[in-house]
Chains A and B, each alone.
Chain A
Amino acid sequence: MKNPYRFACVLALIAAGCTTMSDQDVSDKAVAVMKTSFNERGQAKLDRLDQDEAQKLCSIPPSAVLPKEVAARIEEINLATVKYPADGKLLGNWRDGERVAQSGIGMQYSDDPKVPAGANCYACHQLTQEEISFGTIGPSLYNFGKIRGNSEAIQRYAYGKIYNPQAYTACSNMPRFGHKQILTEQQIKDVTALLMDPNSPVNK
């Protein structure tokens, strides 16, 4: 080294300039910090912290506007995951659907993995009129089928929306019940029936 003092000066200048991390650097560091701040417990393994493309792109404030192409891409990727029942029947039993809608357990490390998960619909939505303990994070689903009619197209939309809400709304707050294997096919049919069946209390 020709002049050690000159090298030290250069280093000091670089250090002084590097006081603020770029937004991307902070994002990358946040992901790294998340990975070292959790322990696996029960059924919740560390792979729960691995983000897929939608999760990465959707880790933004509600005020942030996703470019149209990015939103479209997320919806395209997620629409491709939707699997409709092989027997073509999209409506199950609305009484069982109401039980699934009321249950808030499943997938937590405090939950028994052998017990079926619920969808916890009432956490975020109004559904029947009878149930007044409902949340407002999502829109009211009261009269869902009555308003939209019972066509096959609407049935496919309702089923698909429960299976993977991001097929229709990129970055939706709603969990992807089918794609992430939270609910079984039968459970999704039952919740679809809760929304669509003319005899369901949702449509009374």
Chain B
Amino acid sequence: MKVQLHKAVGGVLAACAALAAFPVGVTAQSAVDEIAKYRQQLQDGNPAELWEARGEDLWKQKRGPKSVSLERCDLGKGAGVVKGAYAELPKYFSDADRVMDLETRLVHCMVTQQGFTTADATKRTFGAGSNRSDIEALTAWITSESKGVRMNVALNHAKEKEAYRLGEKIFYFRGGSHDFACATCHSETGKRIRLQDLPNLTEKAGAQLAYTTWPAYRVSQGELRTFQWRLNDCFRQQRFPELQFGSEASVALTSFLAFNANGAPFNAPAIKR
């Protein structure tokens, strides 16, 4: 009992010492600045590289019932061309007659070329520890092959134009128990939620900053997270039901945001809090 008491007192003293080390007169803005410094320090040694390495292997491996690799998958720049492909997505694909982002295009190739069922291909879209997601790994590698390439999403085909317009409308769609839309948090410059700065996704600067840094290793998740994940998790916090992976709404929103980001060099996989 005495030992436990000493341990408890010791713990409290240690905590007090830690608190005392926190500078007096900390303001919200100085806390934001310190967090920004922490984020800068994170950039060195990005665990995303582990996902990239696994993704490159998965791309080249013969897999699925047809025992074929993904090296003939057309990501929009020709069969097997990976370099720079992500910077031009989403785009219209005539073989599927729809606009596709990277993740829906990957599922398409896994199904049509490797012979997976859609259910198998989307069995695990977001990894959790040892339950790893192949789509996340493939996305990590494929996006890394667009690093430094300027965002260049085209709105040529009628369905590409429609996807952009639908994405914009969905961006402003207010619903759920809390009346939230994407716009509630992301349509004004210079705002933050708690201490997290919020990019204005309706303007070039904000869209560029946000879109070119996904996918990212999310430290708080301990996982590499993709853009489909980012949209999914936004809607969860908006108190909406669950966004379907690769759904038309998800691709439309991605079209809207990716096009708004045009011109900026792609800079992912990044690392985020």
Contact = CB atoms under 8 A, between A and B. Distances in A.
Nearest to A131: B28
B169 A21 contact: no
Given A41-B242, A134-B28, A62 B187 contact: yes
Contact of A175 (B28, B173, B178, B198): B178
Contacts of B237: 108
B248 A136 contact: no
B162 A21 contact: yes
Interface in B211-250: 235-237, 239-244, 247-250
Contacts of B249: 33-34, 37-38
Contacts of A134: 28, 194-195
B236 A110 contact: yes
Contacts of A34: 170, 173, 175, 249
Contact of A59 (B174, B190, B236): B174
Interface residues of B, number: 47
Contacts of B185: 137
Contacts, number: 144
B166 A137 contact: no
A179 B93 CA distance: 45
Contacts of A45: 241
Contacts of A123: 193-194
Interface residues of chain A: helix, strand, loop or mixed (majority)? loop
A122 interface: yes
Contact of A49 (B26, B165, B169, B175): B175
Interface string B1-34: 0000000000000000000000000111001000
15 contacts: A36-B247, A38-B240, A38-B243, A49-B175, A58-B179, A59-B174, A61-B187, A62-B187, A134-B28, A134-B194, A134-B195, A135-B194, A137-B198, A173-B179, A176-B179
Kindly list the 5 A-B residue pairs having the minimum CB-CB distance in the complex, ordered from nearest. Answer: A37-B249, A30-B169, A37-B247, A175-B178, A41-B242
